[in-house]
Chains A and B, each alone.
Chain A
Amino acid sequence: MSSSIDFVLNGQPVSTRCRPDTTVLEWLRGDALLRGTKEGCAEGDCGACSVLLKHAPTEADSVNYQAANSCILLMGQLEGAALLTVEGLAQSSPDGHVIQQRMAENGSSQCGFCTPGIVTSLAGLLDQNGSPKESDIHDALAGNLCRCTGYRPIVEAAFAAARSSDSQLPKSDDNIGKDVVGAEGESVFHLPQTLAELLKLKNEYPSAILLAGGTDISLDVAHARARWERVICTRDVKELQVLQVKDDVLTVGGAVSWQALLPHLETHWPSFATLVRRFGSTQIRSMGTLAGNLATASPIGDGAPSLIALNASLTLASNGVKRVVPLEDFFTGYRKSDLQSDEVIEAINLPLPQAGQGFRAYKISKRYDQDISTVCGTFSITFADGKISNARIAFGGMAATPVRCKQAEAAIIGHELNEGTLAAGKAAIEASFKPMSDMRGTADYRSLVASNLLERLFADLSGNVVEVMSL
C-alpha cells in the first residue's frame, strides 16, 4: 500500500508521497523549498514556524484558517486540509497581505526571523476578528516570541491592519481527506472516520501512536527525530467531534480542539477559559485537544485540575465496551493513567454549574502566557446560607499527578468565609503535599503558593482585585 498526501498549499493542489510522520516544517523547508517559514525551537513554543491551516469543518468547528506550529504538525495531518504560508500571504496581492504591508512600514521587524510567524498569526487573527482589542492581539501573539522589537510596533501594525477592509483570507474549498496515507513498511497514517473504525485499528495495532492534535507527542518527531511506523489520528472521527450540552452536562468529544471548546468554557466557567487561553497559544489550541491533554497524564497538564474540581468524568471506549470513569480516579501515577491500550477517550463529561456554585482556576507560572504551571490551583465552591456548602479543590504541579485535596475541602465545608476557615484550609493544603523542586520552582515555593491560593480565593470571592493582570 502506498498513498499520497493530498492537500492545498497556498491555493494550489499538492500531492506528495513524503513520509506522513515528517513534520510540515521539514517538508516546507525541504521538498517544497519554501524557506520563509522558520525553525526557532522545534517545540511549538516560539511561533517562528507558524502556518495557517484549515480543516474540513466539523460540527464543533467551522472556522476558516487557524494558526498552527508547523514544527509539531505532521504531514499526515495535512491530508484533505488547506495550508497557507507566509509566501502564500505575500502572493495575495502585489504588496502582499495587509499585515505584511503594515508591519513593513511600521518598524515591526528587526532581525526578521520571527516575522513570518508573526505575520501568519496576525493574518489568522484578522481573518476571524476584524476589530481586535489589544487583548485579542496579545492572545494571537501569545505563541510568537520576538527578541528584538519589544512588540510595540507589531501590536500597532495589527491595529493598523485591522482598520483596513482587505484582511480576509481566501476561502478554501472543503476537501474530504482519505482515511489512510503513507506507505507500509515506512510510515502509515490512519485517519479513521468513525469510532468503530478507530477502535478496530486500535485493536489491530495496539502499539501504534494515537494522535489527536500532536502538540505534546509530536515533540518526539520534531525534537528527537523519532520515526513512527504507524499513527492513528483521531481528527476525522465523527463521534469524537461532539460538542454539546445535554441534561446539564457539557460533552466534549475526544477530537475537539481547545479552540473550539473555548467559547463554551467562556460561557460557563470564565475563569477556566482564562486559564486555557494562557496555557496554550492560539497555535497550540487550534491543534491540541482536551482529551490529549488528559491522556498524557502529565502532573502539570493544566486541563486536569479544573476538570477534577468540576467533577468531570471520562467516557472511555474500546471495541464494543464503554465505561465512565471520574477524572479524579483516572490518573494512577507519574504520566500513568487508567486508559487501557485498546481504549480511547471518547468524551469528557462536564456537569454545568449549579446555583450558588462558583469556580476559580489560578495558574502560577514564570510568564503569564504560554507557560507551564508551577502550581495550578482550582476551586469549585458552593455557598448556601452564607456558608460553604460544598467544595472541590484540585491542584496541578504539587504531586506526581493532578490531585484533589479533600483535606482542604473538609476544612472549609460548613464554614463561613472568614479568617478561621482560611487558616484551617491553608493548614490542610500545606499538610497534604510534598511537592518537588525543579526549574519552575522549589518545593517550598510550591507549598507556600498552594496554600496562599486559598487566601486569594477568599479575597476574590469577597470581591477584591487579586491578580496583577487585573490592574
Chain B
Amino acid sequence: MNDAGKLNSLKVERSEVGKGHAHDSARRHVRGEAIYIDDMPDLPNTLHIAPVLSLVAAGKILSIDASKALAAPGVVCFLSADDIPGKNEAAPILKDEPILADRVVEHVGQIVGAIAATSFAEAVQAARLVEIDIEASDPCFDVEDAFANGSKTCATQKLKDGDATTFIESAPHKFSGRVEIGGQDHFYLESHVAYALPGEDDEMTVWSSTQHPTEVQIHVALALGVKNHNVDVQVRRMGGAFGGKESQATIIAAIAALAARKTGKPCRFRMRRDVDMAATGKRHGFVMNYEVGVEANGRFTGLKVDAIANSGHVADLSGPVVTRALTHLDNCYHIPNSDFTGFAAKTNTVSNTAFRGFGGPQGILAIEAIIDRTARELNLDPNAVRAANYYGPGTGEQTPYEQPVEDNRIVDVVERVMKNADWEKRRAAIDQFNAENKILKKGLAMMPVKFGISFNLPTLNQAGSLVHVYTDGSVHLNHGGTEMGQGLYTKVAQVVADVFGIALADIKITATTTSKVPNTSATAASSGSDLNGAAAFNAASEIRQRMVEIAATELGAAAEDIHFGNGKVSADGKSINFSELAKLCWMKRISLSAAGFYATPKIHWDSEKLKGRPFYYFTYGAAVAEVVIDTLTGENRCLRADIVQDCGKPLNPTLDLGQVEGAFVQGMGWLTCEELWWDEAGRLKTVGPSTYKIPGSRDVPPEFNVEILDDQPNHEETVFRSKAIGEPPLMLAISVWLALRDAVSSISKGKLPANLDAPATAERVLFAVEDMKARTARRNST
C-alpha cells in the first residue's frame, strides 16, 4: 500500500462539514430546472431508439426480419448483434452477457435488436414490426430446480468456520426450515437513458444515467472496438438508481453508441418504464434453507445455510451479491460454527443485479427469521435469543469470515431503540389489544443491524478526484462518484469547502466525467462519501499545502501557524482573502490544481476461502416496528417505527436522515407491497406502477422516529470520521416483516412461528394466518 492512497494527515476544522446543508440541487429540483439526461435539448438530427425484446424465455434465434420496420416512416436503421464492430459484451465481471442477443435468447424481455428513427414514437411503432423467429426450448424458472440440477451462472461459494454439522447434531435443540425472499424492482423514477454523440475518428461522448461511468466507458469502447481513451462518459445526476444503474447502464449506453456509430448521428435511448422493468435486472430473490443447532437459552451452536439466489440468465453481479449475503448471515450474532453455501441459480429470467444492500438484506432477513423461529420453538422472547447471541463487546469475537467485530455498538443501539420505542409498555398494550380483538391483530418486533462497509473486493475500494482553484478563489470540484439523489456531491463539496476554509457556495460541483477522473469504481456499497470524500480531501489538501507556503511568506509567519477559515487565510493576527492568496499563487507560478487519490487501508480478502477483512469498519443500527394485520383479508400496515442509526460524525446529518428514512420505506416496500409476478411463460407482468406497487405517502408509518447517533466518531480514519449511510438502514425494515410474523404468531399466543415468506403481501399474510389458525387448533387439541 503506497502513501498516495492514504488520507492526508492535514488537520482541518469543521465548519461546513457537519451542517445539515440542503441538497445542492434542491432549488433546481423543485423548480424543474435540474437537467437530467433526457432533458438535454436534442442536437440537430438526433435519432431515437426503441429496443426489440424477446417474447420467448429460452430458445434459438432462427431469423430476424427487420424489413417491414425499415420501411416504416422515420426509421433510419436496425441494429442486431451482427452490427457490433467490437465485442458484444456487457457483463461486469464474467464474459457471459451480450449487449444484443446473439443466436440465443435466455429471458423474456432480452434485447434482441434496436430501431433508430427520427422520433421516439416512430421508433416505438417500428420496433413492433421486427419479426424474430425463435425455436423455443424448455425454460427454467425455479431456483430450487436449478440448484438441484447444479445449473448456475458463477462458482458456488462456501463460507465455513468450525464444524457446524457436529455442533448442530449434538445441540439440545435443532430445527431446519426454509425462507423464500422475493426480489425487488428498483423503480428509480428516471428510467434508464443514454445519449451518444459521435465525434472525430473513433471518439464518442456518451451521457449515461449510470452509477458506474468507467464501466460504461469500457463497454462502449469494447462494443465499438476502440480504445478507452476515445470514449468519454458523463453524468451530472440520475433520477434515482439504488444499484439498478450500476452494471445495467452499459447495455443502454452501448446500444446508443452503436447506433450513433452506425448512423453518424446523435442517438438517444430512453427506456420506457415497461421496457426498463422487463429488460433490466432487479434485487435477487433468494431461497434460504437452513439447519440450526441451539442451546436451551437460545444460544446458537452451529448454523448451516444454503443460500440460493435467483441469478437470472447470466451472472452480472450475482457472485459478489451472494458473497455479501453469506457475510451478512451472521448479522449481529456470533455463530460459533457455520457452514454457508452460496449458489447463483441460473434461470430464464432477467439477470438480477445490485440493489441497495447487495445481498446483505437477504442474509440478515434469513438469520432474523431463524431467531424468530428459535424463540417460538423454545418459548423464549425473540429479543432474549438475540441477546444470547450478540457479538460481545471487547471480546474480539470474529465473524465466520474471520474479521474481528471491533467498535461494537450492538448493545448500545439496541438499548437506545428499546427505550425510544417504550418497548415494555407497548408490548403489554399490544398483547392486550390482541386478547381483545378477534379480527385485527398487532405485532411488535425489534432487530439490530450490523453492516460491513467497503466493497468486498479490495480492488474496488479506490477513488480519484480533481480540484482546481481559480484566481478569483472559486473552486471547481470533480470526483469519480455519481449523484443519484443521495447528496454525495453536497457532502464532498462540504469537505472541500472546509479544507480551503471557504463557503460552500464557492465550490462548483461538476458532472462526473471519465475524462476528468479515470478508472473509477461504481458509486455503490454505501462507499461514495468515504471514498470520494477522501479523494477530494486529498486533492484539496495538496493544493492547500502549496498555498500555505506562499501564505507564510506573504504573512511573514511560520507555515504551521497558517489558518484557513471564513474565506480568509490568516496567521498572527494578519490575514489575506483566500481569493487574494489564489491570485498570488498564480503570480508565483504555483499550481492550483491537483488530482487526489484514495485507497481504503487495512482491507484484504481471499475470495476462494471467503476469509479476510473485507470491511474497513461496521456500521450499526436498530429498529422497532409495530404493525397491525387484518386476519380476514391479510391487509397490513406499519403503525409505528423507531430507528436508531450510528452515523459516526456525520458529514451532513440532514442528508443522512434522508437516507435513513428513504431506505427504511424502500425496505418496507420490498418486504410488504412490492411483488414481482411472472406468468407461466416467464413474462414479468408487473412492469409499471399500475401493477408493481411501491409505498406511497400514506404507507409511511404514521409515527416514525429516527435518531441519528452522532456521538461516536468512526474509530477508523474515514474523512472527518463519518460513517457510510446509503444501504444500512434499508435492512432496518426487516423489523416490519418480523412484526408481521409476530402478529400472525399472536393467534397462537406467540407460541408458534409464522409460516410467512417475503414479501408479506396481504395474500401471504392471510394464508399465514389460516395456517397459524389450523396449527394452533391442532396444538390445542393435543
Give the interface of A toward B (CB within 8 A): 26, 29, 33-46, 48, 85-87, 89-90, 96, 99-101, 103-105, 107-116, 119, 137-138, 141-142, 144-155, 223-225, 364-372, 374, 438-442, 445, 448-449, 452-453, 455-456, 459, 464-469, 471
Contact = CB atoms under 8 A, between A and B. Distances in A.
Given A104-B27, A104-B30, A150-B665, A467 B697 contact: no
A111 B209 CA distance: 12
A139 B697 CA distance: 9
B763 A445 contact: yes
Given A113-B239, A471-B639, A371 B693 contact: yes
B47 interface: no
B30 A150 contact: no
A109 B237 CA distance: 13
Given A43-B273, A456-B630, A471-B440, 4 more contacts: A36-B31, A36-B33, A468-B636, A471-B637
Contacts of B190: 38, 40, 111, 113
Interface in B1-55: 20, 22-23, 25-36, 38-39, 41
A431 B525 CA distance: 53
Contact of A155 (B30, B663, B689, B697): B697
Interface in B113-167: 120-121, 124-125
Nearest to B30: A100
Interface in B696-727: 696-700, 704
Interface stretch (B493-501, B652-660, B750-758): B652-660
A186 to B, nearest CB: 13
B677 to A, nearest CB: 4
Contacts of A438: 677, 685
B188 A107 contact: no
A107 B689 contact: no
Nearest to A455: B632
Contacts of B761: 366
A356 B637 CA distance: 33
B36 A466 contact: no
28 contacts: A33-B41, A40-B273, A40-B689, A43-B689, A45-B688, A86-B31, A90-B31, A104-B22, A109-B25, A111-B238, A111-B239, A113-B239, A119-B32, A138-B697, A145-B189, A150-B661, A151-B697, A152-B700, A225-B121, A366-B693, A367-B673, A368-B698, A439-B675, A455-B632, A465-B440, A467-B635, A468-B630, A471-B440
Interface string B272-283: 111000000000
Given A145-B696, A148-B658, A42 B32 contact: no
Contacts of A369: 696, 698-699
Contacts of A471: 440, 628, 637, 639
Nearest to A119: B30
B439 interface: yes
The A interface is mostly helix, strand or loop, or mixed, namely loop
Interface of B: 20, 22-23, 25-36, 38-39, 41, 120-121, 124-125, 186-191, 237-242, 272-274, 437, 439-440, 484-487, 628-630, 632-637, 639, 654-655, 657-658, 661-666, 673, 675, 677, 685-686, 688-691, 693-700, 704, 761-763, 766-767, 770
A39 B121 CA distance: 14
A68 to B, nearest CB: 16
Nearest to A120: B32
A245 B191 CA distance: 47
B689 A111 contact: no
A464 B697 contact: no
A112 B487 CA distance: 11
A468 B629 contact: yes
Contacts of A442: 763
Contacts of B766: 445, 448-449
Contact of B487 (A38, A110, A371, A440): A110
A109 B29 contact: yes
Contacts of B241: 111
Contacts of B655: 107
B32 A113 contact: no
A223 B272 contact: yes
Contacts of A101: 30
Contact of A453 (B25, B38, B632, B637): B632
B657 A100 contact: no
A99 B44 CA distance: 37
Nearest to A469: B637
B240 A147 contact: yes
Nearest to A87: B32
A366 B675 contact: yes
Nearest to A367: B693
B666 A154 contact: no
B483 to A, nearest CB: 8
A150 B120 CA distance: 33
Given A104-B29, A448-B766, A456 B657 contact: no
Contacts of B767: 445
Looking at B23, B35, B657, B664, the one whose CB has the most chain A CB atoms below 10 A away is B23
Nearest to B635: A468
A85 B440 contact: no
Contacts of A46: 189, 273, 689
B634 to A, nearest CB: 8
Contacts of B23: 107, 109-110, 112
Contacts of A368: 637, 696, 698-699
Nearest to B632: A452
A113 B654 CA distance: 19
Looking at A36, A116, A153, A369, the one whose CB has the most chain B CB atoms below 10 A away is A36
Contacts of A96: 30-31
A44 B691 CA distance: 12
A442 B763 CA distance: 8
Contact of A110 (B32, B121, B658, B699): B658
B257 to A, nearest CB: 23
A464 B630 CA distance: 13
Nearest to B35: A35
Given A149-B658, A155-B697, A112 B239 contact: yes
